[in-house]
Structure 1
Amino acid sequence: MFAARFDPTKVFDNSQTNDEQEQKNVMIPLKRSRDVESEGESEDEDEDEDEEEQESVTNEADEVSDSESENESEHEETVANLENSDDDNDDDGKHTLVMSRFHQTLSLQENIQKQAKKETDLQKDTITDVQPSIDTIDTVETHELDYIPQPDIVRADMTVKSAIEESHSTAWINTKKVFYDSTMIKPFDEYKDELTPKLLQNIQTNFSKDTFPIQTILLDNILNVLNRSLKLTKKNLTRRIGDLLINASTGSGKTLAYSIPIIQALSNRTVNRLRVLIIVPTKLLIQQVFDTLNKLVKGTGIIITTAKMDQSLREENRKLQQSEPDIFITTPGRLVDHLQMKSISLKNLKFLILDEADRLLNQSFQNWCSELMTTIDKDKLDHLPGNVIKMVFSATLSTDTQKLHDLHLYNPRLFLTDSVKLYNLPNTLQEFNITIPTAKSMYKPLLLLHLFPLLSSSAKLIVFVKSNEASLRLATLINIILQKKNMIENISVNSFNSNNSRAQNRKLVTEFSETKANNYNISVLITTDIMSRGIDITNVTDIVNYDVPISSQQYVHRCGRTARAGASGNAYNYLVGKGEKKFWTQHVSNDISRDIDGLKPISWSKADEQGNLDEEGDIDMEKNEKAEDTESIENYNKIMDISDTEDSIYKDALNDLKEMALTK
Structure 2
Amino acid sequence: MKFTAFGFDQRLLEGIEASGYDEATPVQEQVIPLVLNGSDVIASAQTGTGKTAAFLLPLINNILSSPLNHQSITALVIVPTRELAIQIAQHMEGLSYFTSVSSIAVFGGGDGNAFVQEKKALSAGADVVICTPGKMLAHINMGYVKLQGLQYLVLDEADRMLDMGFYDDIMRIINALPAKRQNLLFSATMPSKIRELARKILHNPKEINISISKPNEKIIQMAYVVYDTQKIPLVKHILHQKEFSSVLIFCSSKLSVKQLNRELQRTKLAVDEIHSDLEQEKRESVLMDFKSGKLNILVATDILSRGIDIDNIGLVINYDVPHDGEDYVHRIGRTARAAADGTAITFISQKEQRKFGQIEKLLGKEVPKAEVPQEFGEVPEYNPAAFVRNIRSGGNKKPFRHKNNENKNRRTDNPKS
1:236 maps to which residue? none
2:271 maps to which residue? 493
Alignment of 1:443-522 (within 5 A): 443-455=230-242, 457-480=243-266, 482=267, 488=268, 491-515=269-293, 517=294
2:311–2:340 contact (8 Å) kept in structure 1: no
Write the deviation string for residues 329-370 of structure 1: whole angstroms up to 9, x where unpaired: 111011111211122232222111111111112334593122
Distance 1:261 1:426 in 2: 26
Alignment of 1:381-396 (within 5 A): 383=179, 387-396=180-189
1:626 maps to which residue? none
2:50 maps to which residue? 253
Distance 1:400 1:498 in 2: 27
Which among 518, 542, 546 is matched to residue 319 of structure 2? 546
Secondary structure, aligned partner of 2:323 = coil
1:341 maps to which residue? 142
Question: Alpha carbons of 1:299 and 1:451: their partners in 2 closer, same or farther (altered >3 Å)?
Answer: closer
Does the alignment pair 1:206 with 2:19? yes
2:27–2:50 contact (8 Å) kept in structure 1: yes
Alignment of 1:109-120 (within 5 A): none
1:532 maps to which residue? 305
Cα RMSD between the aligned structures? 2.6
1:543–1:572 contact (8 Å) kept in structure 2: yes
1:466–1:547 contact (8 Å) kept in structure 2: yes
TM-score by length of 2: 0.81
Distance 1:397 1:498 in 2: 27
Mind listing any 5+ residue stretches in structure 2 that lack a counterpart? 379-417
**Which is helix-richer, 1 or 2?**
1
Does the alignment pair 1:359 with 2:137? no
Alignment of 1:311-330 (within 5 A): 311-312=111-112, 315-316=116-117, 318-320=119-121, 323-330=124-131
2:75–2:152 contact (8 Å) kept in structure 1: yes
1:574 maps to which residue? 347
Mind listing any 5+ residue stretches in structure 1 that lack a counterpart? 1-185, 227-240, 483-487, 595-599, 606-635, 643-664
2:90 maps to which residue? 291
1:545–1:571 contact (8 Å) kept in structure 2: yes
Question: Alpha carbons of 1:470 and 1:317: their partners in 2 closer, same or farther (altered >3 Å)?
Answer: closer
* Aligned-partner residue type, residue 5 of structure 2: E
Distance 1:525 1:473 in 2: 13
Question: How far has the Cα of 1:426 moved from its partner?
Answer: 1.4
Distance 1:288 1:216 in 2: 22
* Aligned-partner residue type, residue 604 of structure 1: A
Does the alignment pair 1:430 with 2:202? no
Question: Alpha carbons of 1:433 and 1:534: their partners in 2 closer, same or farther (altered >3 Å)?
Answer: same
Alignment of 1:215-226 (within 5 A): 215-223=28-36, 225-226=37-38
Question: Alpha carbons of 1:637 and 1:531: their partners in 2 closer, same or farther (altered >3 Å)?
Answer: same
Question: Alpha carbons of 1:306 and 1:554: their partners in 2 closer, same or farther (altered >3 Å)?
Answer: same
Question: How far has the Cα of 1:552 moved from its partner?
Answer: 0.7
* Aligned-partner residue type, residue 188 of structure 1: F
Share of identical aligned residues, percent?
25
1:415 maps to which residue? 208
1:603 maps to which residue? 369
Question: How far has the Cα of 1:525 moved from its partner?
Answer: 1.7
Which of structures 1 and 2 has the bigger CA Rg?
1
Does the alignment pair 1:588 with 2:359? yes
Secondary structure, aligned partner of 1:424 = coil
2:77–2:153 contact (8 Å) kept in structure 1: yes
Distance 1:264 1:441 in 2: 52
* Aligned-partner residue type, residue 241 of structure 2: L
Question: Alpha carbons of 1:401 and 1:210: their partners in 2 closer, same or farther (altered >3 Å)?
Answer: closer
Question: Alpha carbons of 1:221 and 1:502: their partners in 2 closer, same or farther (altered >3 Å)?
Answer: closer
Range moving further from structure 2, 446-455 or 546-555: 446-455
Question: How far has the Cα of 1:308 moved from its partner?
Answer: 5.4
Secondary structure, aligned partner of 1:302 = coil
* Aligned-partner residue type, residue 261 of structure 1: P
Does the alignment pair 1:195 with 2:1? no
Question: How far has the Cα of 1:259 moved from its partner?
Answer: 0.7
Question: How far has the Cα of 1:510 moved from its partner?
Answer: 1.9
Question: Alpha carbons of 1:449 and 1:409: their partners in 2 closer, same or farther (altered >3 Å)?
Answer: same
TM-score by length of 1: 0.53
Secondary structure, aligned partner of 2:90 = helix
Write the deviation string for residues 157-211 of structure 1: whole angstroms up to 9, x where unpaired: xxxxxxxxxxxxxxxxxxxxxxxxxxxxx222333xx222222232122131111
Bigger RCO (CA 8 Å, 6+ sep): 2
Secondary structure, aligned partner of 2:347 = strand
1:175 maps to which residue? none
2:161–2:167 contact (8 Å) kept in structure 1: no
1:350 maps to which residue? 151
* Aligned-partner residue type, residue 394 of structure 1: S
